[in-house]
Amino acid sequence: MRQALHLRIAAIGVSIMALTLAIAAVLTHELIVVGDRAAVDDILRQELSQVVLDLPPELQAAAGNDGVASPAEMDLAVQRFLAVHPGTDRHLTVITIGSRTLVTRDGPPDLERLQRRGDLPAGQPRSLMTVDSAAGPLRVLSASLMGADQELGSVTVVGPLSEGRQRAMDALVRIAISGAVGLVVGGLLLLIAVRRGLRPVRALAGAARSVDLTDLQSRVPDTARMDEVGLLALEFNRMLERIDRDEQQRRQLLSAVSHELRTPLAVARGHLELFETLGPADGASAADTAAVLRRELERLGRIVDDLTAVTRGDLGGGATAREPVFAPDVLADLSDRLLRDASTDISRNMGRDLRV
């Protein structure tokens, strides 16, 4: 089914806006996800670096001069460290010393539950990685705790990515809702603007429908706009003016041709009637009448040649080229034709009287 032009343009515009909003929404979602992951990575690196640098001296101090510390002393040194570094809601620090595992107090609740169940991933030493879990995707970074000559234990820092992804999803939903409202409002405004912008085109179509060779006065209303639509309306009006001018010239030409053909036809018809009434005692001979007819037929031939030249567009040269004429010859020919016409009328009337 044919669809109006302003509807198609509005639909294309709305489609482009929707595609742009979709791309912007996806990019915003990815930027939030990537930004949150980068923030979590910075927190994990900072926390791991702090634990690796500050905790081994605490453990060595607990060992004393003999270099041997009991499990209780080791636990006490780790707890003192965790009291100073309680953690945040963005990460959970797990410190393993021998068979003992201690965690920060203020970690994310989901990660604490995973740690209590023993489902918290350990990761690979000095390697940031994303691991899926029951609490969603996690970023994991681990390292060994090194003393003077031996490994004292290990530390694992875990940060959840679900919070950032949830923020990205919330932003995506908000963009979708606001984008839908914007598309509806923008689509209506675009439809109104396009319809107003195409008003000269509708006027152009109405003028084209009303154009007839008998009435070429229809014109598209003038517009001050000089964009593509305004230029189209201007050129359409100029085209109608050219057609009107050509049609007037055509009518003038037909009128002139009709006048030119009427005279030789009348002369030829009169001499034919005269030829029918000629007798032996008449002053004119058949040859004289035939000569007159031949000259009139030649004149008709010249008129036909001129019309052919005009039809072919040879107005500038060829058979229709303008040439100088000798005025006395023209006057003499005109006088001769008038005399022949008068004699033809007299002879025709006499013949009619004789027949009556």
Is the per-residue pLDDT at 306 higher than 80?
A: no
User: Would you state the pLDDT for residue 1?
Assistant: 44
Domain boundary among 122, 141, 174: 174
Same domain? 162 vs 297: no
The answer to whether the CB of 164 falls within 8 A of the CB of 33 is yes
pLDDT (mean) for 11-22: 92
Instruction: For 233-268, write each residue's pLDDT tens digit.
Output: 788 788 888 888 887 888 887 787 777 777 777 777
Structure-token pair, residue 229: 């639509």
Same domain? 157 vs 36: yes
pLDDT (mean) for 111-127: 85
Pairing verdict, β 92-97 and 100-103: antiparallel
Structure-token pair, residue 24: 């912007």
User: Would you state the pLDDT for residue 345?
Assistant: 53
User: Would you state the pLDDT for residue 296?
Assistant: 73
For residues 34-60, one letter each, b for 16 or more C-beta atoms within 10 angstroms of the residue's C-beta and e for the rest, the string is eebbeebeebbeebbebbeeebbeebe
Same domain? 46 vs 165: yes
**Domain presence at residue 204:** no
**Domain presence at residue 224:** no
**Domain presence at residue 196:** no
Same domain? 30 vs 170: yes
**Domain presence at residue 181:** no
Domain boundary among 133, 158, 174: 174
Same domain? 163 vs 78: yes
**Domain presence at residue 219:** no
Same domain? 10 vs 159: yes
User: What's the chain's average pLDDT?
Assistant: 78
- Cα Rg for the chain, rounded, in angstroms? 54
Same domain? 163 vs 256: no
Residue 97's domain comprises 5-174
Same domain? 139 vs 279: no
**Domain presence at residue 290:** yes
User: Would you state the pLDDT for residue 77?
Assistant: 84
Structure-token pair, residue 36: 């949150």
**Domain presence at residue 197:** no
The answer to whether the CB of 36 falls within 8 A of the CB of 161 is yes
CA 235 → CA 113, 196, 224, 243, 304, distances in Å? 79, 20, 14, 12, 36
Same domain? 146 vs 255: no
Banded model confidence at residue 305, pLDDT cuts 50, 70, 90: confident
CATH of the domain at 29: 3.30.450
Is the per-residue pLDDT at 180 higher than 90?
A: yes
Same domain? 260 vs 170: no
User: How many residues can be counted in the chain?
Assistant: 356
State how many domains the chain has. 2
Same domain? 147 vs 251: no
Same domain? 34 vs 168: yes
pLDDT (mean) for 35-61: 88
Domain boundary among 174, 196, 211: 174
**Domain presence at residue 127:** yes
Banded model confidence at residue 304, pLDDT cuts 50, 70, 90: confident
